[in-house]
Structure 1
Amino acid sequence: MAGPEMSFDRSTLWIVIAGLAVGSYALRFAFIGLVGNRAMPAWLMRHLRYTAVAIIPALVAPLVVWPAPTGGTPSLIHFAAAALTFAIAALTKNVLLAMVSGACSLWVLMYLTG
């Protein structure tokens, strides 16, 4: 079922695009331009190491629990691929190997089950 059609004025669209560009630049400049030449405290650097570890599962978890291909209902295939990915990550401590094996296992499981 398609959603309601939205219509935007061209000037509104360009104002939004320009606002997002300025906001994105300002956020990056705050870290690179203002703080880039200074040494960060050790406690902050220790916490920043865990950023990717927190963000990747936060992005993937909704796709495993409520997969779009099934209309949001839990899928054993997605849980199995996630469990295999977690097991490979825990055993090898290799993020790229875990992500590639998880994607391949999902594709293989989807192919085998139709």
Structure 2
Amino acid sequence: MTGLSDTTVWLVIVVLGIGTFLIRWSFLGALGNRDMPPWVLRLLRYTPVAVLPALVAPLVVWPAATGGQMDPARMAAAAATVAVGLWTRNMILAILAGAVTLFGLLYML
């Protein structure tokens, strides 16, 4: 037991919900109808390219499935994904190559 009352828990939930809403609204509601300068639009194009590797890299290098130990199957799948992505410039093919490599190596190992 944490010793927190129900009122405190619900207050924290409501405050966090309002905070999350305001953070999202600040971008979508306040800036959604305005034209942005070309330099901002150019920089925003790189957001997914920066965020996706930051989300995926820990799952490849320190996967929870192996207790945080590096795994040759996951490293090979990441390498195959990057190689096919650079070679074909096709995201779907890159994801499929990584998935096939991962599941194939997990099956064989």
Taking a change above 3 Å as real, the CA distance of residues 41 and 17 of structure 1, as seen in their structure-2 partners, is: same
Letter in 1 for 2:44: L
C-alpha deviation, 1:20, in angstroms: 2.1
The CA distance in 2 between the partners of 1:24 and 1:79, in whole Å, is: 35
Indicate the SS of the match to 2:69. coil
- TM-score, normalised by the number of residues in structure 2: 0.87
Task: Give the match for residue 112 of structure 1.
Answer: 108
| Aligned counterpart in structure 2 of residue 75 of structure 1, from 71, 75, 78 | 71
Q: Residues 15, 107 of structure 1: CA spacing in aligned structure 2 closer, same or farther, 3 A cutoff? A: farther
CA RMSD of aligned residues (A): 1.8
Q: TM-score, normalised by structure 1?
A: 0.84
| Cα 1:55/1:70, change in 2 over 3 Å | same
Q: Is 1:46–2:71 an aligned residue pair?
A: no
Contact 2:84 2:94 in 1 (8 A): yes
The 5 Å alignment of 1:1-114 reads 9-113=5-109
Classify 1:100/1:21 alpha carbon distance in 2 versus 1 (closer, same or farther; 3 Å): farther
> Which segment drifts farther, 92-101 or 69-78?
92-101
Report how many residues are paired. Answer: 109
Give the residue type in structure 2 aligned to 1:99.
Answer: I
Deviation at 1:8, TM superposition (A): 5.1
Q: CA deviation at 1:111?
A: 1.3
Describe the SS at the equivalent of 2:39: helix
Which consecutive residues of structure 1, in runs of 5 or more, have no partner in the other structure?
Answer: none
Greater helix content = 2
Aligned partner of residue 34 in structure 2, secondary structure: coil
